[in-house]
Chain A
Amino acid sequence: QKEVEQDPGPLSVPEGAIVSLNCTYSNSAFQYFMWYRQYSRKGPELLMYTYSSGNKEDGRFTAQVDKSSKYISLFIRDSQPSDSATYLCAMSGAGNAGNMLTFGGGTRLMVKP
């Protein structure tokens, strides 16, 4: 079993839809949770960064972390065709392990106009 599980998709939605992307994980030591967006043949771009459980909102993006369920989510409101990309969740532990990211496999999102 992988440490971080993420549905690979593809997830196809119409423009303007609310998108829900999710990851589950097994390592209870993870403290920091991130969502990256990656366009084809480009490096990942950090979208959201959260610590421990709770919600964080930034514009059209909302990240949720439920440590009790080992489940994290990224919501995209009013999705746009430019949001079409692969979304990677990533997480890390505390202390010296804080820099070591464990990535999910990525979910490919397609937003159709």
Chain B
Amino acid sequence: GAVVSQHPSWVICKSGTSVKIECRSLDFQATTMFWYRQFPKQSLMLMATSNEGSKATYEQGVEKDKFLINHASLTLSTLTVTSAHPEDSSFYICSGSRGGVLTNEKLFFGSGTQLSVL
């Protein structure tokens, strides 16, 4: 199956710093990337959707200036958590879609990034 590589797998940072998370689709072109956040023992909450070359669409309640998403190429999307605070500590997961016939698409997930903000 298709592979989405996500890095880093975990990161610890000080409050106020910025953290960048990368997702790469290794063997397919991801025309759409989705970014999720998952708190302990909870399900995935969609944060934003990005299409290659376009601005990301953010879900209600997600601060676009805090969670910067860049999808500059068909194989790379990045999420930057700016001025991170302890409440941003969470598990962040990306997923990529091949595009094409949307109704038959299955999303391929990255392995996730555990962010801990001290």
A61 in contact (CB, < 8 A): no
Q: 4 tightest CB-CB pairs across the interface, nearest first? A: A98-B102, A43-B109, A98-B103, A105-B43
Q: Give 12 pairs: A residue, B residue, CB < 8 Å, sorted on A.
A: A31-B103, A42-B112, A43-B4, A43-B109, A88-B44, A94-B103, A98-B102, A99-B49, A100-B46, A101-B107, A103-B43, A105-B43
Residues of A within 8 A of B (CB): 6, 8, 31-32, 34, 36, 41-46, 49, 88, 94-101, 103-106, 108
Give Cα A94–Cα B117 distance, bound, in whole angstroms: 39
Which of these, A46, A94, A105, A106, contacts B106 with CB under 8 Å?
A46
A98 touches B111 (CB 8 A): no
A sample of 16 more A-B contacts (CB under 8 A), given A43-B112, A98-B104, is: A8-B41, A31-B103, A36-B109, A41-B91, A41-B112, A41-B114, A44-B44, A88-B43, A97-B102, A98-B102, A99-B102, A99-B105, A101-B34, A101-B46, A105-B42, A106-B41
